[in-house]
Amino acid sequence: MGRFLLKRILQGAIVVIGVTVVVFVVTRLIGDPVRVMLPLEATAEQRAAFAAQLGFDRPIHVQFFDFIGSALRFDFGNSLWQDRPALEIVLEALPRTLLLVGASMVLAVIIAVPLGILTSLKPGGFLDRLLVTLSLTGLSMPNFWLGLLLIVIFGVQLQIFPIFGSGTLMHAVLPAVTFALPSAARLVMLTRSAMIDELNKSYVALVKAKNVPFRRLVGAHAFRNAAVPVMTMTGWEIIRALAGYSVVVETVFAWPGLGFLAIQSITRQDLILLQAIVFVVALMIITINILMDVAYKYIDPRIKLT
Amino acid sequence: MRSKREALALILGLLLVACSSGTVSTTGDGGTATTSGSGGTQATSPPAESADITIILAGEPTTLDPQIRDDGNERAVSDNIYETLMARNPEGELVPGLAAAEPTQVDETTWQFTLREGITFHNGEPFNAESVVASIDRIIDPDFASEQVSFFSTISGAEAVDDTTVNVLTTEPDPILPARMYWMKMVPATASGDAAFAENPSGTGPYQFVEWVRGDHVTLEANPDYWGDDVGNVTRVTYRFVAEAGTRLSALIGGDADVITNLQPEDVGSAPQSASVTGLEHPVLIINAMEGATADVRVRQAMNLAVDKQAMADELFGGNATVDQCQILSESFFGYNPDLEAYAYDPDAARALIAEAGAEGATVEVIGTAGRWLKDREVVEVVGNFLSEVGLVPEVQIFEFDEYLNRLFGDIRPPAIYVTSSNELLDADRQLSAYYHLDGIGASNDDAELAGWIDEARSETDVAAREGLYHQAVQKACDEAYFLFMLNINDVYGMSERLQWQPRVDAKILVKEMTVSA
């Protein structure tokens, strides 16, 4: 186990470094922050002076080694946009995104797993068909649209929840639900099919023959096996939420988290901040993956961690 | 039996979907309330004693130091905290602000400003010649690396004559120095040495800083010692930041905002009140007059005749745009030529000109970008359609912003490229230098005569002579059709029922000009 962790952490470190280097190369070679930051009508001399001020006129390899040296000390430099350490800005935004994603995943699992199991007990039954239809609806709703829909219903019409912002926990409700519903829909479908697979296996017949109560048969035997793919999917949902959907949902709800920050750093051509964001997100994804691997072992002792 | 249940389940599911989408469309049609007063100032009930308002901007300010960035969201807030030596009245005319009177020219490169007396900054420091000199020195300091340097490129320094008189020095004769001083916000003399100035900003304006919770809001309150007497009844203003237009509109309808910026043209009907005012932005196509089919002036003129500009204003911008009068200038800009008229929409004449030039079937690459300016992609696509109807073969290319900039600023001039030109100084020099002058960063012509007039105007200090040069220059660019002139976009604001406000042509959102009814 210890060896396994060490190995995964080392692998993860290599990936994080790789991703950071790629982002540096891509952003410096394709983008020119000076051009975007100055007004379109600025003259060539003004542009040159500005580049010199920010150090963007140095040869790319000098900038690169400078960057690597600092990155190893977790120093990404000052954000061009806010003129304070980029990592500090990212670490401020991170808990807000983790709160949203965490709350929404708990919500999604609480909704999805019982419903998924319920539908699997009588495939093709009324309840099954109703829930499958609803799930298909849920997972075909784009995040931004669902978000605006919730704003209109619960913010404007019913005025139950604040429309945007991040002051209180109430502010987190609508964005968390926006994250959770499509995820829950996907998880219902997956739980259902995993459970149907398990319930059709021969060991289930044996357990039944032993007169084990049905509730225990489903909960302790079948679901325990079905839980592995469900967990994989949940991990995947968390990663997608962190690295993708958060951009959309946080923009719609003006929730100042990591996704919102990512969009800001791109539109303001803040390469330094962008690098820090990518670094932190890569780190999160790798951590989640390792945690998932460990969790598998607890659920299914047959899995070998190597 | 089974299929019946199936059908029932399906219907139930669909019903749920139908219910939810139904809710959207009713509100979208303006279920809540709709009077989009075009002026926005229907005095219904008397003004309240005092009022707290919320303004939602499309983005958070970068900083509240008014001298370092070129950022519209920063200006939206700091225009209320800070003031400038010269100001503009709501119609856009230049008038004295912190200066007691119009500046006078001491010699070719020296402008003298007399300052209003008895004004103090919010932090208690006096506003005087010392703070003006410090403000100027600070913003032109190369180490300070202000993004606003392009506004002040001619200023070499400033010196105090006495406590209320300042000389501003320029490297060359600069006739638009007064207009430049309309852009330079005055900060206390101590700001230069204060690294934390942006955290605790202090100006002379009608509102003073209370707090800034990053990512959430900025709050200002009325300055009880403000020198001016033209302040409305708003005592406290909170700025919030929402990038998504639909969310801004929802907040306005839901009563969480009194003013929202960048109301989408299609949402005007849904806002409780809306107001639209001629803005500073001019989307235009720069046509390559040096090579290819477009080197022929007849082709360039035909392109101008081919596009129905009024239809674009009406359809794309919901009427919130006006047709440019054959120049990339708004009426409020110095140098605007009132004698010019837009090319009419005349596809037959366009076709004839193209036939005459032997350019039928000629390919014209039209380059644009998406998501940077309002309807930028749509404008370029519509122009492409119009061009294809008069015998040209437009090749519309929409690039990601950075690649688009490569084309806009590149040495190889594209046949036609979209740009939205904006001019906060309201003086022709900026646009003419960048897009009309052959050395300009976005110019696609080699007209030495035109460039000569622009150079001459830049140092012509006689106002009438200078204006004459600009009239001549824009006239020639119109005749030569160096651009496909299109529109001047309005700024559209959404407002709550209780707010009375007439937006300004210089796009400043001045809270002191707002009144809230009881």
Residue ranges covered by each domain of chain A: 2-72, 87-268
Average pLDDT (A190-196) is 90
Distance, in Å, from the CA atom of A292 to the CA atom of A295, rounded to the nearest integer, reads 5
Contacts of A133 in chain B (CB under 8 A): 9-10, 12-14
Given a cut of 60, is residue B8 above it in pLDDT?
no
Percentage of chain B lying above the pLDDT 90 cut: 62
CATH number of the domain located at residue range(s) B278-490 in this protein: 3.10.105.10
Given a cut of 90, is residue B39 above it in pLDDT?
no
Q: How confident is the model at residue B516 (pLDDT cuts 50, 70, 90)?
A: very high
Distance from CA of A221 to the nearest CA of B (A): 30
Which one-letter amino acid corresponds to residue B18? A
Q: What is the dihedral of CA A279, A283, A286, A290, to 10 degrees?
A: 170
Distance, in Å, from the CA atom of B410 to the CA atom of A205, rounded to the nearest integer, reads 73
- Find which of B247, B249, B262, B333 to mutate to test the A interface (most A CBs within 10 Å of its CB): B247
pLDDT, tens digit, for every residue of B347-363? Answer: 999 999 999 999 999 99
Rg (CA), chain A: 24
Domain locations in chain B as residue ranges? 33-80+205-272+496-518, 82-192, 278-490
Contacts of B417 in chain A (CB under 8 A): none
The per-residue pLDDT for B27 is 28
CB-CB contact of B294 with B287 (8 Å): yes
> B283-315: b or e for each residue (b if 16 or more CB lie within 10 Å)?
bbbbbbbeebbbbbbbbbbbbbbbbbbbebbee
Distance from CA of B24 to the nearest CA of A (A): 7
Distance, in Å, from the CA atom of A183 to the CA atom of B313, rounded to the nearest integer, reads 42
Those residues whose C-beta lies under 8 Å from the C-beta of residue B148, and which sit 6 or more positions away, are B67, B68, B69, B70, B139, B183, B184
Those residues whose C-beta lies under 8 Å from the C-beta of residue B392, and which sit 6 or more positions away, are B293, B299, B302, B303, B306, B354, B359, B361, B362, B363, B364
What spatial distance separates the first Cα and last Cα of chain B, rounded to whole Å?
Answer: 64
Distance from CA of B447 to the nearest CA of A (A): 19
CB-CB contact of B402 with B365 (8 Å): no
The per-residue pLDDT for B40 is 41
Q: What are the phi and psi torsion angles at A230 (to 5°)? A: -60, -40
Model ipTM value: 0.78
CATH number of the domain located at residue range(s) A87-268 in this protein: 1.10.3720.10
B188: alpha, beta or left? (left if phi > 0; alpha if psi -120 to 50): beta
Distance, in Å, from the CA atom of B194 to the CA atom of A121, rounded to the nearest integer, reads 70
Contacts of B218 in chain A (CB under 8 A): none
Hey, what are B273's tokens? Answer: 């009140």
Given a cut of 90, is residue B163 above it in pLDDT?
yes
Distance from CA of A102 to the nearest CA of B (A): 20
Q: Which of residues 150-179 of B touch A (CB under 8 A)?
A: 150, 153
Distance from CA of A269 to the nearest CA of B (A): 10
The per-residue pLDDT for A305 is 66
Hey, what are B183's tokens? Answer: 């852009």
CATH number of the domain located at residue range(s) B33-80+205-272+496-518 in this protein: 3.40.190.10
pLDDT, tens digit, for every residue of B167-223? Answer: 999 998 888 899 899 999 999 999 988 888 998 999 999 999 999 998 889 999 999
Hey, what are B315's tokens? Answer: 């359809």
pLDDT, tens digit, for every residue of B379-430? Answer: 999 999 999 999 999 999 999 888 888 888 888 899 999 999 887 777 888 8
Q: Is A213 on the interface with B (CB under 8 A)?
A: no
Distance, in Å, from the CA atom of B514 to the CA atom of B67, rounded to the nearest integer, reads 25
* Fold (topology level) of B82-192: Dipeptide-binding Protein; domain 1 (3.90.76)
Distance, in Å, from the CA atom of B148 to the CA atom of B131, rounded to the nearest integer, reads 19
Q: Which of residues 153-172 of A touch B (CB under 8 A)?
A: 153, 155-157, 159, 162-167
Distance, in Å, from the CA atom of A242 to the CA atom of B62, rounded to the nearest integer, reads 25
Check the CA dihedral B436-B440-B445-B447 and report its sign.
positive
A76 vs B34, higher pLDDT: A76
Q: What are the phi and psi torsion angles at B445 (to 5°)? A: -130, 165
The per-residue pLDDT for B2 is 42
CA distances from A113 to A100, A105, B319 (A): 20, 12, 52
CB-CB contact of A129 with B6 (8 Å): yes
Q: How many residues does chain A have?
A: 306
Please name the member of B16, B254, B431 whose beta carbon is closest to the beta carbon of A134.
B16
Average pLDDT (A175-182) is 91
The per-residue pLDDT for B496 is 95
Contacts of B5 in chain A (CB under 8 A): 125-126, 129
Give chain A's mean pLDDT: 85
CB-CB contact of B286 with B437 (8 Å): no
Q: Is A106 on the interface with B (CB under 8 A)?
A: no
Given a cut of 60, is residue B80 above it in pLDDT?
yes
Please name the member of B2, B10, B254 whose beta carbon is closest to the beta carbon of A163.
B254
CB-CB contact of B307 with B383 (8 Å): yes
Please name the member of B63, B145, B217 whose beta carbon is closest to the beta carbon of A53.
B145
> For residue B351, what is the enclosing H or E element?
helix B347-356
DSSP string, A232-256: HHHHHHHHHIIIIIHHHHHHHTT--
Cβ contact A31–B215 (<8 Å): no
The per-residue pLDDT for B11 is 44
**Strand duo B515-516 + B499-500: pairing:** antiparallel
Given a cut of 60, is residue B29 above it in pLDDT?
no
Cβ contact B405–A32 (<8 Å): yes
Prediction pTM value: 0.81
Helix (H, G, I), strand (E, B) or coil at B268: helix
Q: Which of residues 25-54 of B touch A (CB under 8 A)?
A: 27, 32
Cβ contact B244–A40 (<8 Å): no
Contacts of A164 in chain B (CB under 8 A): 240, 242, 247, 250-251, 256
Give chain B's mean pLDDT: 87
Average pLDDT (B103-119) is 94
pLDDT, tens digit, for every residue of A79-95? Answer: 878 778 999 999 999 99
